[in-house]
Amino acid sequence: MKMKRFTLLALIMAGMFAFVSCEKDDTKDLSKDESEQQITIAEQDFQTKSTEIAATEGYQIQAYYGQMPSPFVGKTLTAKSEIPSVAQKMLDVVRSNSLLQNEIEFYYYYFLIENFNDVTGTWTWNPDTQWYDHTSTPTDEVIVKFPYPESSTTNNVTVTYYDFTSTSLDGETVPNGLKVKIEYNGNQVFTLAYTGSFTDWYKYSYKIDVAFGQFTISEEESYDESDTDFRYVANFIFKKDGKTFYSENLNYTATLLTDQSVKFLVTGTQVIGNLEFRMKLEGNSADIETGDPNDFLSLSLYTTGGDKVGDFVFVEENYEWVIYFKFNTGEQELAETLMPEISELLSDFISNMFYY
């Protein structure tokens, strides 16, 4: 998973494809002033955490490592789907936009080495050749050593891959277990643990746990596809000092209707600090390309206590869909003015979903 642009408003939109939850008792509709206050509180809190994450050694080093040339190939595991392209495009849009989109770069899948047994040993960065020298020991680990920062004259970072396990699918090796640790000047600053379960290319699940500094990330996904149906479920939790400050839950199902159309349902929730986004997207792919997005998409903003902040609505202006935020008072404000980054990402979503 790759993540970009770590701002609250981008995060709000990034998870907008994961939002619906149950009603809560003893709640109210907030006034416009109260709604704006809740958004401001969440923004300030998340911006503070964004700065803290960016300053964490573990984050900085894994991001640096992710941009260095690799002595071996790591790649993301992807299902070989035979679902019609329109359904797969919709799944791709949902998956790519339901993740954190921020200026911080995480390189989880850079650590998944499918050809682990072919690259065991120690890879040491050589400043003279600008490449790695390789020795064959150890035989059960992959160790990479390099300097950090770039101006360092010693290979003071050690990345160790260990406890590797794998399975075979159609003759291809697929990792189903791996651990990684990063040490900087002898101190452990980043860890990752991956476990996967694969029945075949059409039914699998995995879990990734990451820890660095005061922060932990947990991500789980499952995918199940048959000739006529498929289901994708994802859960993502970001914590500081054991307390969740960002989370997502996404459930996407689709049923094949014809060779060119599917019936789909996307539901979920996203929590950012004191805010909770709820979304439901339902329809037929044959209709959604030319339909009114308000007929398919329900998107609302609440506090985590259940008070309603407002809704997002779509208005057709000059033959284009324009996004507005509707306060509980009925007042509507152009999303591009109220929330510029949210508006931009929503527009991208509409383009991807309705005009493919």
Dmax over Cα atoms in the chain, in whole Å?
69
Query: What is residue 308's predicted lDDT score, i.e. its pLDDT?
Result: 95
Say how many CA atoms lie within 13 Å of 201 toward its Cβ: 12
- All residues at 6 or more sequence positions from 155 whose CB lies less than 8 Å from its CB, including other chains: 124, 125, 145, 146, 147
Work out the pLDDT band at 68, boundaries 50, 70, 90: confident
What is the average pLDDT across 334-348? 68
* pTM of the complete model: 0.79
Are 101 and 7 within 8 A, CB to CB? no
Which amino acid is it at 122? T
Which amino acid is it at 275? L
pLDDT digits (tens, 9 = 90+) for 186-235: 999 999 999 999 898 889 998 999 999 999 999 898 999 888 888 989 88
Q: How far apart are CA 217 and CA 208, in angstroms?
A: 8
Nearest to 247 by CA among 255, 238, 259, 260: 238
Nearest to 167 by CA among 212, 124, 201: 201
pLDDT digits (tens, 9 = 90+) for 270-320: 887 888 888 888 888 777 666 788 888 888 889 989 999 999 888 888 888
What is the average pLDDT across 260-266? 83
Mean per-residue pLDDT of the chain: 79
| Percentage of the chain lying above the pLDDT 70 cut | 76
Higher pLDDT, 29 or 351: 29
Residue position matching structure tokens 């005061």: 214
Query: What is residue 49's predicted lDDT score, i.e. its pLDDT?
Result: 83
For residue 79, pLDDT over 50 is answered with no
What is the average pLDDT across 129-145? 95
| Percentage of the chain lying above the pLDDT 90 cut | 32
Which of 100-104, 181-185, 300-304 comes out lowest in average pLDDT? Answer: 100-104
For residue 344, pLDDT over 90 is answered with no
Query: What is residue 174's predicted lDDT score, i.e. its pLDDT?
Result: 83
Query: What is residue 348's predicted lDDT score, i.e. its pLDDT?
Result: 61
What is the average pLDDT across 8-12? 37
Q: How far apart are CA 256 and CA 356, in angstroms?
A: 18
For residue 101, pLDDT over 90 is answered with no
pLDDT digits (tens, 9 = 90+) for 149-179: 999 999 999 999 999 998 888 888 788 899 9
Query: What is residue 152's predicted lDDT score, i.e. its pLDDT?
Result: 95
Strands 142-146 vs 121-126: parallel, antiparallel or unpaired: parallel
For residue 114, pLDDT over 70 is answered with yes
Query: What is residue 71's predicted lDDT score, i.e. its pLDDT?
Result: 81
Residue position matching structure tokens 């329900």: 298
